[in-house]
Structure 1
């Protein structure tokens, strides 16, 4: 973090946006978060810290992350975009930073979109085996949900906020739908994990103790967060019905990567690229907030409400893109 701030001090950009895990606010009573804020203020930046959950912006994973805005005194400090979706809470912010969580007030009457579940995101993808090696596959199925229509848009249509995903021509080649191949021992263990919900099910593997090895995800639930390592020994990352871990593409969808986006490198590196990324709907919402600040079209509030049906908001597209 100190190196990041040194780079900011050297470049002196008009705007700064930093992202990190919530643990930076848990270590030493939030020392790292306070350090980042103080460095920006010392460099004559306005600053604002917010905690955002990816699931609040239309993804089936919770993924709580810390974001820090900075803006020179000559600029307008960007706001944080308020949630567009209900979210199934899978964790919380440190008590001392609860006021920094980007959320509506509890007494507000809202009509947010329903929470997305795992099935909403990946149920249209074809079955693959543990040893799948192909980097390109046909879909074999039509999209079933609005999320699946949107994620299968072409690059051109995805950039058009007036596009109706259900009427657009969809991307026709599926990239990166292959899992990290498990070794024989792990694969045999996975094959024994039930494909139906069993309360508190876990398979022990080290001295008979482990809280959640070889656990399945479920269609009607959300994922706590996408991880960088597809290892079933200490994370619940098994497909609900197939005997394998989630594929690179399935993880990419949970992060909001469009299907036309093709990853590169060895299979493990692709998982890392996806797991380390900022969730795309969150990035898009923050980008919208930055654009409004750059145009000086913001108020004094630290938060803003995104357009209805963001990012595909029809008649409001002209105002948002001009």
Structure 2
């Protein structure tokens, strides 16, 4: 992929960026899978390049409680923990659901309502990405209670994958990340986005050339 042609050409939405990637489950761990569909946007075509198989489309596994909460977050733009029903989890028969440990749980994390006023209402925690919006700032450890809590897929009940995070930063699909899933996310979160690095380098080259 030539970065000179991969720089943003207007607004890039979440759908434009990762909408062609196949559905995976919470905790998906296969290092390589098939795309399963053709690219749609110019960005998807450019970011794929000549890559035939999809690498690192892996999702951090949430614990049982967070997965239940994720499933109760409505699949609408901007939804986060504020949209969780204020009730204990109920089965169809009306009885309380217990985790595999035997613990009865509340959907809304107890600490959030009690401290919301001091922390801008904890906006975005347990949040879903917006297909028509932008990706949030890339972090080294995407999690629903993290600094950037908006880490749930717009339509699927899971945390966004390594490859989705990589695409949001402009890494071509051919780029492979080393280590386990935590290491891969850390590499992406700490990296300078390749298109930005290219643009800065080009301007620096022009500035040096102008001084000669």
Structure 1 and Structure 2 fold alike (TM over 0.5): yes
1:13-58 deviation digits (Å, cap 9, x = unpaired): xxxxxxxxxxxxxxxxxxxxxxxxxxxxxxxxxxxxxxxxxxxx52
2:130 matched residue in structure 1? 218
**Structure 1 CA distance for aligned equivalents of residues 81 and 112 of structure 2:** 14
For this pair of structures, how many residues does the alignment match?
172
1:262 matched residue in structure 2? 176
1:142 matched residue in structure 2? 38
Show the 5 A alignment for 1:167-206: 170-197=50-77, 202=82, 203=84, 204-206=108-110
Establish whether residue 233 from structure 1 lines up as the match of residue 145 from structure 2: yes
Establish whether residue 121 from structure 1 lines up as the match of residue 17 from structure 2: yes
Query: Runs of 5+ in structure 2 lacking a partner?
Result: 1-6, 85-107, 117-121
Q: TM (normalized to structure 1)?
A: 0.50
Shift of 1:272: 0.6
Following superposition, which runs of at least 4 residues in structure 1 exceed 3 angstroms of deviation?
197-201
Q: 1:286 to 1:198 in 2, by over 3 A?
A: closer
1:96-124 deviation digits (Å, cap 9, x = unpaired): xxxxxxxxxxxxxxxxx421111110000
Choose from 162, 165, 168 the match for 1:251: 165
Checking the alignment, whether the CA contact within 8 Å between 2:78 and 2:129 is kept in structure 1 is no
After superposing the two structures, state which structure 1 stretch, 220-229 or 252-261, moved more.
Answer: 220-229
Greater strand share, structure number: 1
Bigger RCO of structures 1 and 2 (CA < 8 A, at least 6 apart):
2
**Structure 1 CA distance for aligned equivalents of residues 79 and 173 of structure 2:** 34
1:275 matched residue in structure 2? 189
Show the 5 A alignment for 1:287-302: 287-294=201-208, 296=209, 298=210
Query: Runs of 5+ in structure 1 lacking a partner?
Result: 1-56, 59-112, 154-169, 300-322
**Structure 1 CA distance for aligned equivalents of residues 153 and 78 of structure 2:** 15
Shift of 1:224: 3.0
Shift of 1:201: 5.7
